[in-house]
Chains A and B, each alone.
Chain A
Amino acid sequence: SQKIEQNSEALNIQEGKTATLTCNYTNYSPAYLQWYRQDPGRGPVFLLLIRENEKEKRKERLKVTFDTTLKQSLFHITASQPADSATYLCALEDSSASKIIFGSGTRLSIRP
């Protein structure tokens, strides 16, 4: 069956360092991959979308890579700040932008 795995343990990073989160998937051939941020008690907020034919996408301090051979996406936050502390979710979609699957998320904590 289709499966998405994100860092199962919480990630604790020192402020100013680069945080790297992973999203691995099996038994799926996504056309799109999205990353969302979720704060406690709130709905997810969209961050970045990357297509299967794109290797990398950047937005301000965020960078996403998408390797369809390794079946993996990496999400980087450079110059991390305590305000970046949240749970980060990856989501996969097929080519018809349906059959959406979310990972369980990685909780990121940035300590001052």
Chain B
Amino acid sequence: EAGVAQSPRYKIIEKRQSVAFWCNPISGHATLYWYQQILGQGPKLLIQFQNNGVVDDSQLPKDRFSAERLKGVDSTLKIQPAKLEDSAVYLCASSLYRAGGSNEQFFGPGTRLTVL
């Protein structure tokens, strides 16, 4: 079975520019997550989708970050405008949905963003 796909794998931009990341989850996975992982730290959840609805976006900096999953399948995460502190790896993960339960998450390879 194909894994979680992400693109691009690497991106270098200057501060105040905009950037977008794309994620295609494993087929049939209703739950999709976007994480930010700064070097030396664990992943920090930015947003969690259940199909095309948002479950949790409490840690998403909404003044500059936005995410959508319009058809409940693939998703895009956008940063506009970028700041130096946004330099990190952006990970996408997906999981099956099971009411009242937790499921293992399958992670993509990530997009490494460098903001200059």
Contacts and interface: CB of A to CB of B under 8 A. Distances in A.
B104 A49 contact: yes
Q: Is the interface of B mostly helix, strand, loop or mixed?
A: loop
Interface stretch (B43-51, B66-74, B79-87): B43-51
A97 B91 CA distance: 18
Contact-residue bracket for chain B:
20 to 34
A93 interface: yes
A100 B31 CA distance: 13
Contacts of B107: 43-45
Given A97-B101, A98-B56, 20 more contacts: A4-B42, A31-B102, A34-B102, A41-B109, A42-B110, A43-B93, A44-B43, A44-B91, A45-B107, A46-B105, A46-B106, A49-B103, A91-B42, A95-B100, A97-B103, A99-B58, A100-B45, A100-B56, A104-B41, A105-B41
Interface of B: 4, 33, 35, 40-45, 48, 55-56, 58, 91, 93, 98, 100-110
26 contacts: A34-B104, A34-B105, A42-B109, A42-B110, A43-B93, A43-B108, A43-B109, A44-B43, A44-B105, A44-B107, A45-B107, A46-B105, A49-B103, A89-B42, A91-B42, A97-B98, A97-B100, A97-B103, A98-B48, A98-B55, A100-B48, A101-B45, A102-B42, A104-B40, A104-B41, A105-B42
